[in-house]
């Protein structure tokens, strides 16, 4: 029984054409699994960053809510419009230094404490 050389080469090429895509698919699956494991392991870090990274507006609103004050009340006490307080809280604008000091005093926190968590 004689084996034709071209048939053998053709069979080897077909074998490689089947093996290479399969190996690539396995490699991609392994990389995806590693990335997913790394992502899942970083849950604590992601949650911590979400807590730590706040805008000044979020901090101002959190303090106002903590003190059970309305935007209108804060505006009257600081001497600005309610719209100004709203703009500070939604991040459209930032309070001036004097207004920030007044807010800190009103919320009974230090100005540094207001700015400490700002990203």
Neighbours of 116 (CB within 10 A): 12
Q: Report the number of distinct structural domains present in the chain.
A: 2
- The tens digit of pLDDT for each residue in 74-110 reads 999 999 999 999 999 999 999 999 999 999 999 999 9
pLDDT at 51: 63
What is this structure's pTM?
A: 0.56
Same domain, 112 and 55: yes
Q: What are phi and psi of 32, to 5 degrees?
A: -65, -40
> Domain for residue 31, yes or no?
yes
Same domain, 57 and 22: no
Same domain, 61 and 94: yes
Same domain, 86 and 55: yes
Same domain, 66 and 103: yes
Same domain, 59 and 112: yes
Same domain, 57 and 98: yes
């Amino acid at each position: 029984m004689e084996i034709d050389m071209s048939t053998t080469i053709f069979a080897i090429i077909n074998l490689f054409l089947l093996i290479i895509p399969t190996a690539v698919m396995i490699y991609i699956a392994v990389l995806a699994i590693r990335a997913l494991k790394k992502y899942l392991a970083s849950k604590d870090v992601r949650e911590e960053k979400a807590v730590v990274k706040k805008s000044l507006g979020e901090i101002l609103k959190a303090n106002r809510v903590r003190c059970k004050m309305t935007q209108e009340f804060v505006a009257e006490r600081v001497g600005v419009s309610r719209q100004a307080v709203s703009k500070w809280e939604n991040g459209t604008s930032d309070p001036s230094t004097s207004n920030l000091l007044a807010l800190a005093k009103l919320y009974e926190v230090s100005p540094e404490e207001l700015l400490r968590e700002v990203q």
